[in-house]
Amino acid sequence: MDALVTTEWLAGELGASDLRIVDATYVDAALGRDVAADYEAAHIPGAVFLNLGELRDTDNPLPMMLPSAEKFASRMQSLGLGDGSRIVLYDDSPWHTAARAWWMLRTFGAHDVAILDGGLAKWRAEGRETASGKETLRHRHFTVWADHKGVRTLDQMKANLASGDEQVVDARSAARFTGEEPDPRPATHAGHIPGSKNLPYTGLFNPDGTWKRGDALATAFAQAGVDLDRPIALTCGSGITASTLAFGLHLLGKDAALYDGSWSEWGADRSTPKAMGAKETVDG
């Protein structure tokens, strides 16, 4: 199974005994959407609802930190996602949150995982079948194996300021990156990690919501000043849209680490330096 699958491919695979389809839609409550209700109203037949808003470390004050391996495995098992499953993720979110689910699954040891290109919007635009209500779930064993080599902590990101070993690429909008637009979180500084590059996650998608591929995708990174042959650490607001950059790099055959705390941690920490503007002015 390719990492990025088409609606046509998925339609042909519906009902396969080893296929598990997952709705990984997540949006902030401020947008006024109830994504669980949206799922029950219409989803791809057989799909289960992941609920990324709850699949996190709820003891951590930061918004979207990785849960424990045990919590992750328990949730996967309850959704019927287990060993031997081919997992296809999709979303109906402006933030393309299937990529966050993909990154989490990879971090916790699942490797036969794909994203549906164009998500639910493309599926529905093509007039394909949807189901309503909840699916009947069958508990399956999920062998969890946490691999945190692709996860970066605050201390590691601070150390990287001095070493410069990894390029830091920020997936937020240009206005959030430069500090022109204030951060929406209380007591969080505007700006970005000094020395980081800005590639808004929207730059990885075509106008119809499908992923850029090949040269077009590589060009998006190149235009942001990213050297694909050097190590990369990714950041954003809370670790969600940075996951789209991680998936985009995966499509290009590259691995990248992700700073899970992202700006919600760095921007609120009084001890971290913050840069403002396209030409950096560093505070702290």
Query: Pick the catalytic residue: 55, 169, 236, 275?
Result: 236
236 labelled catalytic: yes
Buried b / exposed e along 126-157 (16+ C-beta atoms within 10 A): eebeeeeeebeeeebebebeeeeebbbebeeb
Which has the closest alpha carbon to 109: 135, 137, 71, 83?
83
User: Minimal CA–CA distance to 95: which of 247, 215, 222, 213?
Assistant: 247
Q: Residues with catalytic annotation?
A: 236
